[in-house]
Structure 1
């Protein structure tokens, strides 16, 4: 658990991360990787602005002695360089790590011996994306020493634009999601009838709401449980039915217990611009709990997991996948999970950086 430390001073850092996601939002790729990198480097994560406030404090979260999170109290990213310039002791740092090209203007003020672009999503295709983002990414790609991508589709796209691109699909903490000691059903699931078809993650424009509505209608004796924050869509847009339940956001530590009580795990993603390049982290997390997985035909899922995931086009396919799930899952899942871990991914990324810095 982090703590606010307004007396903490921004001192020497080895790695400065620029991230569009909040550290205390859904726990995903940045948190997994940066927390591991902080065992080798002293890290400062700079989030998107939180807006100006009357009583201005230096909002720093201390995750650990080697990992700090800064929330800039400014209204727009264009103000970021001016905001952090007097706060940071140096103007040259070993590593600058970018999750969003929207931060690229800081390169006009700060120098980094190595610039890393960890491209986990094609943000320019997301709802509400800035028109400038494509130009900003071109600028970042020109400056970057290395580009990491969060999936194979992104890799195929970015390797056309940069000479040093490495594919690092999202990974998993197997022990965390295969933990079955906590068998007590969560309080807000106790009155939900089984069998349960569950999803967890952000609920936004990437979810095929029509598929969810029609699949729930096709399977009235199954409960559809949606766990996660609702973003960029209005609550009144969400499908409503007696067998659809929205449980809100849960912490990373809580997720395994919810997952443990799913009978099926689903990824009902819409096939649109926002999902064109995604490589869902939850695929591997669902596998850790040996749940039958039902997914729409996301490119990276089709490419890597078609032998063990039920792929669907519509509600008829979805109902059929529930009636006839993929068999022999444990053997298939174990073979996949043996090859991946966040520790391994972070170590490989670190090795590449070390070679560049050498």
Structure 2
């Protein structure tokens, strides 16, 4: 099969999956992960496009051209061009701004060779990446591709970082095969194959320290691109009539953006929206595994689908309060939601479920353990949304938790490794 045929097969399989009824997609969630992993492992290649560099060109023009603090390679995990920007994308951009050369490996994005996407940030689909010496290689605990053998091979080339960013759970990572592979990756990292374990939440960090000791572990929570959510040009985005009409019909809007996924607490969402009929509830994000039908079908609930990250602030500015309704359990207790800090940057009060320890650590966040408590704290949040002192505190929290701050901690940790 030629390269273009492989790309077409990948695209066709993806389209066919999302045309299936949502309940069937949900049952096939684990199988989907396995198929995507297999297709991505086929070394799919596209044609070299204008501006792309071959491996030798990248070495001569970029790698050897200037002094940089570090060369950091993100092992293949998620594509660069996905709708829902995630931690790897944000961290790559922030590290680039700190004069690190970042190589973000991809098996999609229709790229062959190396393509620059931001200052000091290149996406790459080229075998020469594996031979770049003295680089820091980052493996994510949620990767569709990473294996313990790949981590061991990388450890012979340079430093290895294990990014422990989520509790390993079937609702996040797929079926039994994927869970076994990710547990093996985690075990290898905890046993010392990784030079350092970077955890995104206190619960994950505590687990890592218990296995590795605190010398080789650091907690770097998620953050926010503050400038993106304060961009004065965002109000010019054309919003769909379905949203603006819905906004006009409701005095208050409580909004959520992120994956519509198994870890949301749909029963509580149903009960809250049924009681608060005068409040509009808006959900924005991709259907992660056929979960959209679990959202309440009520006149005061609106699902808008996925929205491009570039346009997202324009939508969220029309929220009065923001919602992160994760259901109780390990996923909630060990998650550092990007959206928490993005909501802070928007200066919107945040309502969460009480198991979300990374959120409730901030006294500015409202929390409830059941539907009745969530209704009460949503009322409190809506009464606070115009309080200028409260908004100033949220603004300060966003600045304190920016991706630039996170990346500075990250680089300091890596440079400390190299000094030993």
State the TM bucket, normalised to the shorter chain: 0.7 to 0.9
In 2, Cα distance between equivalents of 1:16 and 1:224 = 40
Asked if the contact 1:268–1:295 (Cα under 8 Å) also holds between the matched residues in 2, the reply is yes
Which residue of structure 2 aligns with residue 333 of structure 1?
394
The Cα shift of 1:137 comes to: 1.0
Counterpart pick for 2:194 among 144, 164, 183: 144
Compared CA separation, residues 68 and 334, structure 1 to 2 (3 A) = closer
In 2, Cα distance between equivalents of 1:98 and 1:233 = 28
Which residue of structure 2 aligns with residue 222 of structure 1?
279
In 2, Cα distance between equivalents of 1:149 and 1:322 = 30
Counterpart pick for 1:112 among 157, 174, 181: 157
In 2, Cα distance between equivalents of 1:5 and 1:212 = 48
In 1, Cα distance between equivalents of 2:359 and 2:96 = 34
**2:254 alignment partner, SS class:** strand
**2:135 alignment partner, SS class:** strand
Q: Which has the higher strand share?
A: 1
The Cα shift of 1:284 comes to: 1.7
Count how many residue pairs are aligned between Structure 1 and Structure 2: 337
Which residue of structure 2 aligns with residue 78 of structure 1?
none
**2:344 alignment partner, SS class:** helix
The Cα shift of 1:348 comes to: 1.9
Q: Output aligned runs, 1:175-194, within 5 Å.
A: 175-179=227-231, 182-183=234-235, 186-188=239-241, 189-192=243-246, 193-194=249-250
In 2, Cα distance between equivalents of 1:329 and 1:226 = 24
Q: Give deviations 1:69-105, integer Å, cap 9, x for gaps.
A: 246xxxxxxxxxxxx6x54472634211111373432
Task: State which drifts further: 177-186 or 295-304.
Answer: 177-186
Counterpart pick for 1:271 among 307, 320, 328: 328
The Cα shift of 1:292 comes to: 2.0
Asked if the contact 1:214–1:315 (Cα under 8 Å) also holds between the matched residues in 2, the reply is yes
Asked if the contact 1:120–1:150 (Cα under 8 Å) also holds between the matched residues in 2, the reply is yes
The Cα shift of 1:350 comes to: 0.9
- TM-score when normalising by structure 1: 0.83
Task: State which drifts further: 233-242 or 219-228.
Answer: 233-242
Compared CA separation, residues 271 and 5, structure 1 to 2 (3 A) = farther
The Cα shift of 1:231 comes to: 0.6
Which residue of structure 1 aligns with residue 406 of structure 2?
345
| Structure 1: 5+ residue stretches without partners | 51-55, 72-83
In 1, Cα distance between equivalents of 2:340 and 2:129 = 39
In 2, Cα distance between equivalents of 1:270 and 1:186 = 30
Q: Give deviations 1:264-319, integer Å, cap 9, x for gaps.
A: 111111113333310112112112222121111134245412x2122112222222
**2:308 alignment partner, SS class:** coil
Q: Give deviations 1:217-239, integer Å, cap 9, x for gaps.
A: 11112111000111123443333
Counterpart pick for 2:297 among 237, 240, 257: 240
Asked if the contact 1:213–1:239 (Cα under 8 Å) also holds between the matched residues in 2, the reply is yes
Asked if the contact 1:5–1:60 (Cα under 8 Å) also holds between the matched residues in 2, the reply is no
**2:261 alignment partner, SS class:** coil
The Cα shift of 1:61 comes to: 4.7
In 2, Cα distance between equivalents of 1:112 and 1:89 = 8
The Cα shift of 1:66 comes to: 3.6
Q: Output aligned runs, 1:3-152, within 5 Å.
A: 5-6=48-49, 8-10=53-55, 11-12=58-59, 14-25=71-82, 26-39=84-97, 40-47=99-106, 58=112, 61-64=115-118, 66-70=120-124, 86-88=127-129, 90=131, 92-100=133-141, 102-110=146-154, 111-124=156-169, 126-127=171-172, 128=174, 129-141=178-190, 142-152=192-202
Asked if the contact 1:124–1:133 (Cα under 8 Å) also holds between the matched residues in 2, the reply is no
Compared CA separation, residues 292 and 69, structure 1 to 2 (3 A) = same
RMSD: 2.9
Compared CA separation, residues 65 and 303, structure 1 to 2 (3 A) = closer
